[in-house]
Structure 1
């Protein structure tokens, strides 16, 4: 990350955790600075090294490095989770839909896949073309496959409760109101998931499979960049507790998104303000509904999301759309 981002993060976490504020002991000697503590934590995350590997460079002991890492990860989550690890708001959805349409997939919100972290974690993530991770779900045993992780994931919770921004788009003259994610063949045939076609027959289906698989590389690229930036999630997890691993993974994802935003040079607080306005506008809109009516609507929305028929319809529309688009480009 750039120095300006490092300094900004240090300033923010000092507001929520006094551990990163330099103090003096009883003799008046200065203690460790916030820069030392934060640097030690970042080096452990970025290089995936044991805590005692930073003692000579940072001049702190192993136990202090572990403490710095734990305080750092919890401070990052407490400070930035509400901004950098949240569902897309209305403005984000509009931008994602525009990007998806430009790439040949109207209604696409991103790509979906799982990544294993050797120990017992199986992160499930949704990413967009710019490698921003919109959704992350983990703490599942590594023995679970992508389907069972998706079943336990809260990815579509807001959609089933009618609290997600509406995604209006048209494919092949058919109107849709639910966005979808690109995924590989193991995922179920839902209305919100567009999979590739295994052994496609005919030029139209082959075209869909080729373009879908190319666009779906977004999530693989995001995992690759995340692991390159934070080697700790690519090497076997060491003897931390479940809670420590939870905060480590979430911190790496949040910092990953912060670096992407910093490289895009988005004006400060632009996303957080927009997100706050969207979230507060949706609060309370469901409170006055009858519980029985709300539950019935919840089940109906759940059936719509998991509809195999709707999945086939949108995939067929995409086949025709991409074919006609290819003809226009030619």
Structure 2
């Protein structure tokens, strides 16, 4: 358990664990695989599933509470910051909003993007393996 959590948290290689935890490379790798399988088994139904109607309603309500416009779209879309090509699923920010409506949209989009960056930043700071490739 210690080996698996250390590999996930610090992104360290199996060689480093040999001295710290005093287990072999194959045992550390097997421990990591079993730990990941157990986490997936326990949390799969709650977190690794498609959102249901209740989840979508909750997310839309949170958006309305923050003042984000509740338009209905017939396809998914992603907020982007102008570095991607023009696709229908990527909603570009308005770099120089001229109307009040455009200003409000740009502010809300920026707030949503910053919320995601903060949440993912916390995740990255606590779990080093998210920053780089896994080293099994």
Q: Do both proteins adopt the same fold according to a TM-score greater than 0.5, normalized to the shorter chain?
A: yes
CA shift in 2, pair 1:84/1:204, >3 Å: closer
Q: Please tell me whether residue 205 in structure 1 is matched to residue 102 in structure 2.
A: yes
> Match for residue 233 of structure 1?
130
Structure with larger Rg: 1
- 1:93-134: CA deviation from partner (whole Å, max 9, x where unpaired): 111111000111143xxxxxxxxxxxxxxxxxxxxxxxxxxx
Q: Any stretches of 5+ residues in structure 2 without a counterpart?
A: none
CA shift in 2, pair 1:86/1:198, >3 Å: same
For 2:68 and 2:78, locate their aligned partners in 1 and report how far apart those are by CA, in whole Å.
9
> Match for residue 103 of structure 1?
66
Q: Please tell me whether residue 223 in structure 1 is matched to residue 120 in structure 2.
A: yes
Cα offset, 1:91, TM superposition? 1.6
> Match for residue 44 of structure 1?
7
Cα offset, 1:212, TM superposition? 1.1
For 1:106 and 1:204, locate their aligned partners in 2 and report how far apart those are by CA, in whole Å.
10
Q: TM-score, normalised by structure 1?
A: 0.36
**Superposed, which structure 2 residues align to 1:69-218 within 5 Å?**
69-107=32-70, 176=72, 178=74, 181-184=77-80, 185=82, 186=84, 188-190=87-89, 194-218=91-115
Q: Secondary structure at the match of 2:31?
A: helix
Q: Secondary structure at the match of 1:97?
A: helix
> Match for residue 30 of structure 2?
67
Cα offset, 1:85, TM superposition? 1.4
Q: How many residues were matched structurally? A: 133
Is residue 41–residue 69 contact of structure 1 (8 Å, CA) maintained in 2?
yes
- 1:251-306: CA deviation from partner (whole Å, max 9, x where unpaired): xxxxxxxxxxxxxxxxxxxxxxxxxxxxxxxxxxxxxxxxxxxxxxxxxxxxxxxx
CA shift in 2, pair 1:178/1:101, >3 Å: farther
Relative contact order higher in (CA < 8 Å, ≥ 6 apart): 2
- 1:177-211: CA deviation from partner (whole Å, max 9, x where unpaired): 75865501326224xx6432133334432332122
Q: Any stretches of 5+ residues in structure 1 without a counterpart?
A: 1-37, 108-170, 241-330
More strand by share: 1
